[in-house]
Amino acid sequence: MEFCPKCGKILLPDKDGNLKCSCGYEDSISDEEVKEQYSFEGETNPQQEVIVTDKKSTAMPTKKITCYKCGGTEGVWWVLQTRSADEAPTYFIRCTNCGNTWRQSN
Ligand SMILES: [Zn+2]
Ligand SMILES: [Zn+2]
């Protein structure tokens, strides 16, 4: 996943293969690896679930993590209440090194 360097949101590809952000930022997908990352349409891998947040990473609390992608040790975290209020809130972690985001189940 690529993140917008301006606002930190996840960039989504359009049909022309350009990455676009709702803040107006645009980039083109030139890297084959990046293209592959975007080619898993329809698959649901909980470890790669895409979370769009308006919060800037600088305003989020940090915690010690171990990123399964890059081995980074610092991440930011936030909590989302999913589906119904009866369910336990879900914690999300984003690696500050590579931007990898995943769900923590505690
Ligand atoms: Zn943006
Ligand atoms: Zn990482």
Is there a contact between 51 and 60 (Cβ–Cβ < 8 Å)? no
Would you say 34 and 13 are in contact if contact means Cβ atoms under 8 Å apart? Answer: no
Each domain of the chain, given as residue ranges in start order, spans 1-43, 45-106
What pLDDT score was predicted for residue 89?
A: 81
pLDDT band at 100 (very low <50, low <70, confident <90, very high): very high
Asked whether residue 72 carries a pLDDT value surpassing 60, the answer given is yes
C-alpha 96 – ligand 2 centre gap (Å): 7
Tell me the CA–centroid distance for residue 15 and ligand 1, in Å. 18
- Single out the residue of 81, 103, 83, 85 nearest to residue 93, CA to CA: 103
Residue 98 CA, ligand 2 centroid: distance in Å: 4
List of long-range contacts for 22-28, beta carbons under 8 Å, 24+ apart: 27/2
Task: Express each pLDDT in 11-41 by its tens digit.
Answer: 888 777 788 888 988 887 665 655 566 554 4
103 CA → ligand 2 middle, Å: 14
More confident residue, 18 or 82: 18
The dotted CATH code for 45-106 is 2.20.25.10
Binding residues for Zn(2+): 4, 7, 21, 23, 67, 70, 95, 98
The pocket of ion ligand 1, defined by CB under 5 A, consists of 4, 6-7, 9, 21, 23, 25
